[in-house]
């Protein structure tokens, strides 16, 4: 499948356009009617929301003959709520929502469900929400892959020992996914910490998944440990990139490091030896599943699921999709599958690593 990749300039133009649409949507009388309202969170936590999720969901809904409105809140919960209200005014009965925080996200879902509509938790579970289904990648598997990838990297470097310190940079605390990923990290690492096979290092959530916040936090971790860290869990490639920048700034050598989202930067860090691997989540699968769920709900049918996740005391029907760990040995499949272009990764100083 050929992917739509937006260049930096186009992303900036798109974001500016989104902001303009949001203002008008919140104040002007809607001129179009929509069946499905798609609410995406931001452009900073990952490139995926603009480059992949938006076009992939649009493609799937269009193919199903469903009308839709796709919105990005630019990390503003109030803006996301205004987008939801505009969608409701335009007749939308199903919302596909990637939450910014549980409180506002739950209130958005209830705006739809209280009027007889339906909500879909997309990629991030809304604690206390009223969604009919949660469509996501297997978050526990993501965290386990990250931890196992770092351990493998430490063993390959000969640094795996009872004196080896593993630091952890988890995702944004307002994102329920960060806790699923952390639980996967914990599942692998906590028994090793408890047995003394590895040493538990500094651990912290990174507000908003923001690279600037991650750089500050990791720099503090280096100071706290006198640069004595042998492995690093980074919740995604954005955070991993901040770690790499800090290590280079301090003239330190690469340390086994995890990531997620298979971004061009993440793959560049992998092939150049600065990152051990990244979790590959093929977004078209998730986008297609969410679109299929929306179509099913519109038709009064039950969306496809393969289990459930606890949401408070409630069992939330869930479709959890598999993930894959990408390393220097298998990254080229990202090119053959159309996820990334070789020309995006193998450029400049990184071209030498792609031979």
55 and 108 housed in the same domain? yes
Residue 153 lies in a domain: yes
Write out pLDDT tens, residues 93-136.
999 999 999 999 999 999 999 999 999 999 999 999 999 999 99
Q: What percent of the chain has pLDDT over 70?
A: 91
Total structural domains within the chain: 2
Widest Cα–Cα separation across the chain: 64
- Look up residue 109 and give its two tokens: 């879902």
Exposure of 343 by Cβ count < 10 A (0-12 exposed, 13-18 middle, 19+ buried)?
exposed
126 and 145 housed in the same domain? no
85 and 27 housed in the same domain? yes
Mean pLDDT of the chain: 92
Measured CA to CA, the distance from residue 1 to residue 184 in angstroms comes to: 30
Give the domain CATH number at 253.
3.40.50.2300
Q: Partners of 137 in the beta sheet?
A: 321
Write out pLDDT tens, residues 217-260.
999 999 999 999 999 999 999 999 999 999 999 999 999 999 99
The predicted structure's pLDDT at residue 29: 46
Nearest to 25 by CA among 72, 60, 59, 67: 72
Residue 219 lies in a domain: yes
- Look up residue 302 and give its two tokens: 């039950």
270 and 289 housed in the same domain? no
199 and 335 housed in the same domain? yes
Residue 318, domain extent:
8-131+282-322
Residue 43 lies in a domain: yes
Exposure letters 101-128 (e unless 16+ CB within 10 A, then b) = bbebbbbbbebbbeeebbbbbbbbbbbe
61 and 186 housed in the same domain? no
The predicted structure's pLDDT at residue 21: 41
336 and 245 housed in the same domain? yes
Write out pLDDT tens, residues 289-305.
999 999 999 999 999 99
338 and 189 housed in the same domain? yes
- Look up residue 222 and give its two tokens: 């280096």
Measured CA to CA, the distance from residue 53 to residue 47 in angstroms comes to: 9
288 and 265 housed in the same domain? no
Write out pLDDT tens, residues 292-350.
999 999 999 999 999 999 999 999 999 999 999 999 999 999 999 999 999 999 999 99
Whole-model pTM: value is 0.81
Question: Residues 5-31: what's their mean pLDDT?
Answer: 41
223 and 348 housed in the same domain? yes
Residue 229 lies in a domain: yes
203 and 127 housed in the same domain? no
Comparison of pLDDT for 57 and 4, the residue scoring more: 57
Residue 146 lies in a domain: yes
The predicted structure's pLDDT at residue 31: 57
pLDDT category of residue 11 using cuts at 50, 70 and 90:
very low
Residue 66 lies in a domain: yes
The predicted structure's pLDDT at residue 36: 98
Nearest to 208 by CA among 11, 43, 40: 43
The predicted structure's pLDDT at residue 45: 84
Residue 245 lies in a domain: yes
Comparison of pLDDT for 48 and 149, the residue scoring more: 149
The answer to whether residues 222 and 188 touch, using CB atoms and an 8 Å cutoff, is no
The answer to whether residues 275 and 266 touch, using CB atoms and an 8 Å cutoff, is yes
Q: Partners of 40 in the beta sheet?
A: 72
Residue 2 lies in a domain: no
Query: Count of residues for the chain?
Result: 355
301 and 338 housed in the same domain? no
């Amino acid at each position: 499948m050929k992917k739509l990749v937006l260049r930096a300039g186009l992303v900036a133009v798109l974001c500016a356009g989104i902001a303009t649409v949001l203002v008008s949507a919140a104040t002007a009388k809607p001129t179009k009617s929509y069946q499905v309202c798609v609410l995406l969170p931001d452009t900073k936590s990952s490139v995926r929301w603009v480059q992949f999720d938006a076009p992939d969901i649009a493609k799937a809904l269009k193919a199903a003959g469903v009308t839709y409105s796709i919105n990005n809140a630019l990390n503003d919960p109030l803006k996301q709520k205004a987008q939801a209200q505009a969608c409701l005014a335009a007749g939308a009965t199903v919302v596909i929502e990637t939450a910014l925080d549980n409180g506002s996200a739950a209130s958005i879902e209830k705006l739809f469900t209280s009027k007889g509509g339906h909500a879909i938790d997309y990629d991030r579970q809304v604690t206390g929400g009223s969604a009919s289904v949660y469509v996501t990648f297997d978050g526990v598997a993501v965290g386990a892959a990250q931890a196992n990838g770092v351990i493998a990297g430490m063993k390959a470097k000969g640094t795996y020992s009872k004196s080896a310190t593993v630091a952890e940079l988890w995702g944004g605390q307002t994102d329920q996914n960060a806790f699923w990923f952390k639980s996967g990290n914990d599942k692998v690492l906590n028994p090793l910490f408890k047995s003394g096979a590895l040493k538990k290092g500094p651990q912290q959530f990174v507000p908003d998944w923001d690279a600037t916040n991650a750089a500050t936090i990791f720099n503090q971790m280096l100071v706290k440990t006198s640069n004595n860290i042998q492995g690093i869990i980074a919740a995604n490639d954005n955070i991993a990139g901040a770690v790499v920048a800090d290590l280079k700034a301090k003239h330190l050598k690469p340390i086994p490091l995890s990531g997620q989202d298979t971004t061009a930067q993440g793959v560049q860090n992998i092939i150049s030896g600065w990152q051990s691997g990244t979790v590959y989540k093929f977004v078209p699968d998730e986008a297609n599943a969410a679109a299929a769920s929306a179509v099913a709900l519109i038709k009064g049918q039950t969306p496809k699921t393969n289990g459930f996740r606890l949401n408070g005391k409630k069992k939330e029907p869930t479709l959890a999709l598999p993930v894959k760990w990408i390393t220097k040995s298998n990254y080229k499949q990202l090119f053959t599958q159309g996820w990334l272009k070789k020309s995006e990764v193998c450029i400049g100083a990184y071209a030498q690593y792609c031979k």
